[in-house]
Structure 1
Amino acid sequence: MDRQPGVSVRLKLTLSYAGFVMLAGALLLTAVSVFLLRGTPNGIFVPNLSNLSNLLLAFDPTNFGPAIFGPVAAAMLAFLLVFGLLGGWILAGRMLAPLTRITDATRMATNGSLSHRIRLPGRSDEFRELSDAFDTMLAQLETHVAEQQRFAANASHELRTPLAITKTLLDVVRTDPNLDTGDLVDRLHAVNTRAIDLTEALLLLSRADQRSFDRECVDLSLLAEEATETLLPLAEKRGVSIETSGDMASTIGSHALLLQVTTNLVHNAIVHNLPDQGTVWVTTSVRPRTAVLTVENTGEKLTREVVSTLAEPFRRGRERIRADPAGVGLGLAIVTSITQAHEGTLTLAPRAARGLCVTVQFPAAPPHTGR
């Protein structure tokens, strides 16, 4: 926003300090003039300084007549004015020094430097609270920008792969017109499907981040049954059994997005499982003020270090098959984003008996909300 140039805050504080000092001095001199010099004859008192009593009388305002009190008062006000301006300028500079550091840090952040921190020393006050809040904001912004840059780089790499494969296949057809295109068309279809799935996943992730969705009462137990029925053919194909149980657990949110959360978790539990005779457990429950969805599966032994990275975008397990539906490395990243958009929490933990346990908690719907 363009603004007209104005007076600096330091100068305003200086004038305020000086004006206050002048006002206090004027009131003091007025009080002396009204109450102490009333009825005092004009003239100058010349004290005899030979003893202590006369010395004390020398500083008695009543010994100065009104004729000399005026010039003395004017001189005192002039001294107070100079003293107030000079002292106010120094004091204002010391008081506004933290604000100057905050302003410099803001300019550096505006120019793209997010690693700088103010770190004002001293005890807590208004300026230091502002500085600490600004440092916290810079840290969060720096982390967010780094995540966005990493996500953009990963997304570009993932999108470039199917496009490069498509270009290669088309070049093969161009150089060999007699080539049988049947198998080529199938490969192009698979590559194109993967590119579409990745694009839709990115759009879904962006939609969840923006929190632009309608909210309604959603029962997590019904979503678990719907996701299980949808993915049952995939589970049978892989020899994985799915067990669904639990109570009605209602929350407020988007039915489509919460169904995507459930579907992604069940799909991951099926894909990242034992080659044969694996099991997936999907349960719902209600805790104080929260609705809980838990998805557990058998599988390989996982460490906490590995589990802590699974929700990162484009993070794939070693057994991920790229031909699987939604196998674009964004499954848990989408779950995380949708969960945060619904003010919920996502917890991943390795099972003691091998495999993974994923727990999602959402704020429970009010009791009077309809199903």
Structure 2
Amino acid sequence: MSENQNENQNKLGDTSSDVTVPSETGTAVGPAERFQDPGVPAHKARLTDTDPRAAKRAERTVTFLFVLSILGTIGSIVAYVMIPPEGTTSSVRLSTLLIGLGLAVSLLGIGIAGIHWAKALMGDREFVQERHTLATQGEDREAAVNDLNEGLADSGVVGRRGMLKGAFFGALALFPLAIAVPLIGSVGGDWNISKFKHTMWKRGMRLAIDPSGRPIKATDVTVGSVFHVVPETTEEFRATHEWITEKSKAVVLMVRLNPEDLQTDQSPEGEDWSYEGIVAYSKICTHVGCPVALYEQQTHHLLCPCHQSTFDIADSAKVVFGPANRRLPQLPITVDDEGYLVAQDDFAEPIGPSFWERLK
């Protein structure tokens, strides 16, 4: 290939702005002639631009929304202080409901006010700023400051809308308190980690169906059946907030297998922990604490729906798949004189995922 051909090919591949293209008349056309600047579209005036009364209404609306946000923040703090989540289940629900409503009003007030402010009051004209090299001379700095002041004045934050400015900064300043106050109030909470090591199961406590609380006889459990189990308690205790806390740790999944399918039904010390093929294991996954309750009868596998950890019920609930690294703790069970299934004792190890100071 000759030098002239190489030179022509390089010219064809050049896409820089300096290249000129022949026009239909045969004259060279540069970039400025080939690409016309469409310019800025004509500004369409809004109602608030032409009607002072509409602008005033929009200002009052935005101010009202910011004030509503302030009231929502104050309401959530009052709900946290006046209705502590303790005692009964109803008080926990009421406290959570009121705090959540306060936070929702506070956030929605700020969000909707900001959108309405931008659409109705802030300037919506399009401007063209020519590119140039910004220097550090005093004239350029002064021009930049003037541009910022013009934009600030155009947004309506200061000057003629002082009430709107106060509501805006008040809402933004108070909202973090709705999150900070509960956090500060929880700093001095209960940090007794020994509560993680034990549940309410005790020797002789009957196994009951969740959520009815009806005790279970061994004769009610057929081979292949699955029961969701909690400790038997009084109806009054099940209506308290303490029951919610204790139940979350003590929930059990009970299954009856053919005794010959059990690869082990004894504790490490050789004690019998099952009764005629009936085994009971904690429902709290040892990975991150999700409820394990998907039982596959043919394989005797128990699946955690969160991260697919799989446990073998027939072999002391050991892990056969997934991220969990410990088996499910087994609840040792037997029957009482009336044939009801009862716990021999609490779990031999802490339930659920790992935590600090755990020995096992």
Into which bin does the TM-score normalised by the smaller protein fall? under 0.3
Structure with the bigger percentage of helix: 1
- Please report the TM-score for the alignment, with normalisation by the length of structure 2: 0.21
Whichever of the two has the greater Rg, that structure is 1
